[in-house]
Structure 1
Amino acid sequence: MRRMMLRLFILLGVVAIGWGGVAMTNTGPTSPGLAKLEGNVARGAYLARASGCIACHTNMEAGGNPLAGGAPLETRYGTFYAPNLTADENHGIGAWSIEDFARAVREGESPNGDPYYPAFPYRFYTRFSDQEIADLWAAFRTVPAVEQPSKEQELSFPFNFRAALHLWQGLYFEPQRFKPEQDRGELYNRGAFLVEAAGHCAACHTPRNLLGALDEDQQWTGADGLPGGGASPAIHADALKQRGWNVQDLAYALRSGITPDGDVLGASMGEVIQQGTAFLSDEDRRAIATYLLSER
């Protein structure tokens, strides 16, 4: 399987070279009214926490400064490092505009046009509205600048051939915005946003194909080969119910990390809870549980 992956990525690299690295993304134009929106710092900070920004971009084990760069993320493609997101103009995002920020978060493209690796879950964040982008931007602008260079990604060939990501995006990424289901209630739709967009739960709980894209035919069925060598369980409604979960127990576990049988959710999920869902409101945790346990 690894040899096949290598061949496929080499093929992508050859194609990208042949086309001169021309962007093949489906990204759309940046919203023209972004700069006129007034962001809410409190809402943005809450959304950043719900979206895992702090957990991913802070090396807590090493005592790193908030959002100044994350711990190593070891994968089968190599090691990824989440970059510095503080207000430092040289090493962070202090010199960015809100349009730059929106393009990075929702389209997976840096200010100079480089595509981001899908380890950054822009495939989910593309669902953020303009106001949510403005709120996030307002919150990030308050983070003290840290003069710390972001670490380079340590990927083996051919995964380090970044130009091939343009073609990857063209194949597997389609920008979109979150749209509530009109025949569903407010709690369900709030849960849908938190699960499908901010929380990007499918990133860990859905298997990936040979090119690292999510296998949409097996959504929520669990996945092997997570960063660090772990695995995730299925979290679709049937699987959760078969394991005895209900809305109340699942919402409580998202706050405490404790399962109905008294066990503790550890590993990657423990970090998600400790640095993310534990900070959410009780209503939002109920919304997540309601959505996950609903038939779709």
Structure 2
Amino acid sequence: MRRRAWSLTARALPLVLPFALVAGGGAWAADADAVARGGYLFQAAGCLGCHTNEKAGGAPLTGGRALVTPFGTFHTPNITPDPVNGIGRWSDADFIRAFREGVRPDGAALFPAFPYASYTRMTDRDLLDLKAYLFAEKPQAVANKPHDLSPPFSWRFLVPGWQWMYMTPGPVADDPGKPAAWNRGRYLVDALGHCGECHTPRSLLGGLDQSRYLAGTPDGPDGDKVPNITAHLAKGLGKWSDGDLGMLLELGLKPDGDVAGGAMGEVVRNSTSKLTAEDRAAIIAYLKTVPPKE
């Protein structure tokens, strides 16, 4: 595989603080517009489901959800603005670097259970708006659970090698030869929605096999089967109409009358059902053009 050039955006970016001083209050309050935009991005990115241990009654965004993988069990972290247990001490540059390069504020690599290989495509503006939303949430002093990993998968110093092989840092420019809706759909699918993280098969080292992009896999999250969502006529979405796809994304209903369950049911509940009709249409416009794969 060819070596990829690393982005210096997070290091070079001036700190664009999405905050405004409250008159007379002496306290900092997040800019309302940035928080509103960030709230929408938060839903589009599906942050709530992964970072909330709903089965155990955990508070939203306090982490603790177990992600069972062939490499061990990861426990998602607290992403509230708590300064000790959460991300309350992260600067704008820290936040962008985590998403863009998969690196913690202390310089250590983040495990790719956090799908930064997809989130790296997000724009700086969207990342700062997302941070504004998260920092406007209530801090929760809930300690993080350690991952349950065995060597060599627990050796964090090996992760930069994985990143070198499987990650191309930085946003992807719009394709000027495609309609605006297609480019928006690609951004929603590949960056914010990180659909490929579940719907694309992985290599033995856990990297996405881009030659089978969105072709589905029998080894999805928690060992569940994940369907093919390419335009394949027999095994994918090739026979689905725009209306069929719209019903799935908005209501979780399939053409045969079945209801999306499991991880996809969660995605519909927490993410796609909360998108605008225009953004759901953009996702459909993009997916309809994904080359069919077995």
Displacement of 1:259 in angstroms is 0.5
Displacement of 1:178 in angstroms is 2.6
- Kept after mapping to 1: 8 A contact 2:13/2:93: no
**What is the rounded CA distance, in whole Å, between the counterparts of 1:50 and 1:70 in structure 2?**
21
1:230 aligns with 224
* Aligned partner (choices 231, 239, 249) of residue 244 of structure 2: 249
Kindly indicate whether residue 177 of structure 2 is the aligned counterpart of residue 177 of structure 1: no
Q: Which amino acid aligns with 2:16?
A: K
1:262–1:34 Cα change, 3 Å: farther
**What is the rounded CA distance, in whole Å, between the counterparts of 2:35 and 2:111 in structure 1?**
28
User: What is the TM-score of this pair, normalised by structure 1?
Assistant: 0.87
1:143 aligns with 137
Displacement of 1:208 in angstroms is 0.5
**What is the rounded CA distance, in whole Å, between the counterparts of 1:144 and 1:151 in structure 2?**
20
> Structure 2: which 5+ residue stretches go unaligned?
19-30
Displacement of 1:120 in angstroms is 0.7
Q: Write the mapping of 1:190-201 to structure 2, written as runs, cut at 5 A.
A: 190-201=184-195
> Structure 1: which 5+ residue stretches go unaligned?
1-23
Kindly report structure 1 stretches of 4+ aligned residues shifted beyond 3 Å.
Answer: 24-27, 31-34, 239-242
1:163–1:27 Cα change, 3 Å: farther
Kindly indicate whether residue 188 of structure 2 is the aligned counterpart of residue 208 of structure 1: no
- Kept after mapping to 2: 8 A contact 1:191/1:289: yes
Residues 141-198 of structure 1: per-residue CA shift (max 9 Å, x gap) = 1011000111111112221111111111122212121311111112111111100100
Residues 50-92 of structure 1: per-residue CA shift (max 9 Å, x gap) = 1111111111222211111141111111111110000110000
User: What is the TM-score of this pair, normalised by structure 2?
Assistant: 0.88
Q: Which amino acid aligns with 1:181?
A: D
Q: Write the mapping of 1:72-221 to structure 2, written as runs, cut at 5 A.
A: 72-221=66-215
1:241–1:140 Cα change, 3 Å: closer
Residues 206-230 of structure 1: per-residue CA shift (max 9 Å, x gap) = 1101110011111111112222211
Question: Does the residue aligned with 2:77 lie in a helix, a strand or coil?
Answer: coil
Kindly indicate whether residue 261 of structure 2 is the aligned counterpart of residue 266 of structure 1: yes
Taking every aligned residue pair, what percent have the same amino acid on both sides?
42
User: Across the two proteins, how many residue pairs are aligned to each other?
Assistant: 272
1:218–1:295 Cα change, 3 Å: closer
**What is the rounded CA distance, in whole Å, between the counterparts of 1:223 and 1:120 in structure 2?**
19
- Kept after mapping to 2: 8 A contact 1:77/1:159: yes
Question: Does the residue aligned with 1:73 lie in a helix, a strand or coil?
Answer: strand
- Kept after mapping to 1: 8 A contact 2:64/2:145: no
Larger RCO (CA within 8 A; separation ≥ 6): 1
2:273 aligns with 278
